C-alpha cells in the first residue's frame, strides 16, 4: 500500500517550492488526496504522488504483458474448441447470441436485458476499427479491450464459453469463478492505473499476486518472465 509516507523523498527534478502550481497541474481535489495521506505536508504529498505514478507505470507494464497473454490464450481456445463456420471474431452473433435476464433497475422495477449485447457491440466496434469485415482476425483481436476479455469468464458464460472452450486455456481443474474474480480485480486495477487514479489504500501486493498467478496459470514460463522482469515488488518494498 502507499499509505506510509515515511522516508519518501521528492524526485530530484521536483521544484523546491511546492506551491500552487501543483494544484493547477493536478487539480485541487486530486492533490488533496495525497495531502490528506501525507498529513498536509506538501513536499511529502508530492513525493507520494510521484511514487503512486511510478507504481502505476510499473503495474501498467505487467498488466500489458498479462493482457497480451490472456487474449492470445483465449483466442486459441475459442478458435480450437468452438464449432463455427469461420473464425469466432466473424461469428459474433453465434458466440454471443442473445441471452435474456431479468434485472432490477431501481424505480423502473424489473427489466429484461440481453447480457451479451455488450460483448457483441465490443466485437462489432473492434471489427470497424480494424478496417471492416475483411480485416484479419489478429487485427480485430488487437482492438478488443481488457474489459472484453475480462467478461468472458463471467458466470453468464459458464455454459457457452467456459465449459466448451475457455477452460482449455488453463490447467485442468481450474476454477472459473476464481479466475473471474482475479481478472475482475485486475480489470479494476487496470482502469485505475489507466486513468492515473490514486492507488492509496489498495492492496497492491495482493493484486500483483493475482496478476502473477493468472499469468502462471496461462503459462508457467509467462508467469516466471513477468515476475522476473517486474519492478513492482521493488517499488512496494523500497519505502517500507
pLDDT digits (tens, 9 = 90+) for 126-142: 999 999 999 999 999 99
27 lies in a domain? yes
Cell of 94: 453465434
Q: d(Cα 34, Cα 41) in Å, to the nearest integer?
A: 9
5 lies in a domain? no
pLDDT in tens, 28-47: 999 999 999 999 999 999 99
- DSSP string of 55-122, one letter each residue: HHHHHHHHHHHHHHHHHHHHHHHHHHHS--SS-GGG-HHHHT---EEEEE-GGG-EEEEETTHHHHHH
4 lies in a domain? no
39 lies in a domain? yes
107 lies in a domain? yes
Band of residue 239 on the pLDDT scale cut at 50, 70, 90: low
- 8 Å CB contact between 26 and 49: yes
Backbone φ/ψ region at 7: left (φ over 0), alpha (ψ -120 to 50), beta: left
Q: Which domain holds residue 233?
A: 21-237
Residue 44 bridge partners (DSSP):
none
16 lies in a domain? no
pLDDT in tens, 46-62: 999 999 999 999 999 99
- 8 Å CB contact between 80 and 64: no
9/24: higher pLDDT: 24
Q: What is the percent of the chain with per-residue pLDDT over 70, rounded to a whole number?
A: 92
Total domains in the chain come to 1
Q: What's the predicted TM-score (pTM) here?
A: 0.88
Long-range contacts of 127-130 (CB under 8 A, 24+ apart): 127/89
Q: How many Å is the maximal CA-CA distance in the chain?
A: 65
Does 188 score more than 80 pLDDT? yes
pLDDT in tens, 72-110: 999 999 999 999 999 999 999 999 999 998 888 777 788
10 contacts: CB under 8 Å, gap ≥ 6:
18, 43, 46, 47, 50
User: Which of 197, 155, 156 lies closest to 175, judged by CA?
Assistant: 155
pLDDT computed for residue 240 by the predictor? 57
For residues 207-215, give the mean pLDDT. 99
14 lies in a domain? no
223 lies in a domain? yes
pLDDT in tens, 147-176: 999 999 999 999 999 999 999 999 999 999
Amino acid at each position: 500500500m502507499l499509505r506510509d509516507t515515511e522516508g519518501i523523498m521528492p524526485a530530484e527534478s521536483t521544484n523546491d517550492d511546492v506551491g500552487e502550481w501543483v494544484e493547477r497541474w493536478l487539480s485541487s481535489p486530486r492533490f488533496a488526496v495525497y495531502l490528506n495521506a501525507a498529513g498536509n505536508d506538501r513536499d511529502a504529498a508530492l513525493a507520494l504522488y510521484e511514487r503512486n505514478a511510478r507504481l502505476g507505470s510499473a503495474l501498467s507494464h505487467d498488466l500489458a504483458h498479462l493482457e497480451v497473454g490472456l487474449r492470445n490464450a483465449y483466442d486459441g481456445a475459442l478458435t480450437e474448441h468452438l464449432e463455427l463456420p469461420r473464425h469466432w471474431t466473424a461469428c459474433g452473433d453465434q458466440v454471443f447470441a442473445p441471452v435474456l435476464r431479468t434485472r432490477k433497475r431501481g424505480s423502473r422495477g424489473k427489466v429484461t436485458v440481453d447480457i451479451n449485447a455488450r460483448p457483441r457491440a465490443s466485437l462489432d466496434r473492434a471489427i470497424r476499427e480494424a478496417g471492416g469485415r475483411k480485416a484479419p482476425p489478429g487485427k480485430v483481436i488487437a482492438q478488443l479491450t481488457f474489459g472484453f476479455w475480462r467478461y468472458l469468464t463471467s458466470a453468464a458464460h459458464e455454459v457457452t464459453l467456459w465449459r466448451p472452450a475457455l477452460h482449455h486455456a488453463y490447467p485442468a481443474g481450474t476454477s472459473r469463478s476464481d479466475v473471474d474474480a482475479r481478472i475482475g480485480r485486475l480489470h479494476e486495477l487496470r482502469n485505475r492505473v489507466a486513468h492515473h487514479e490514486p492507488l492509496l489504500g489498495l492492496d497492491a501486493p495482493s493484486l500483483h499476486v493475482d496478476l502473477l498467478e493468472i499469468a502462471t496459470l496461462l503459462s508457467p514460463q509467462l508467469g516466471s518472465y513477468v515476475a522476473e522482469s517486474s519492478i513492482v515488488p521493488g517499488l512496494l518494498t523500497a519505502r517500507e
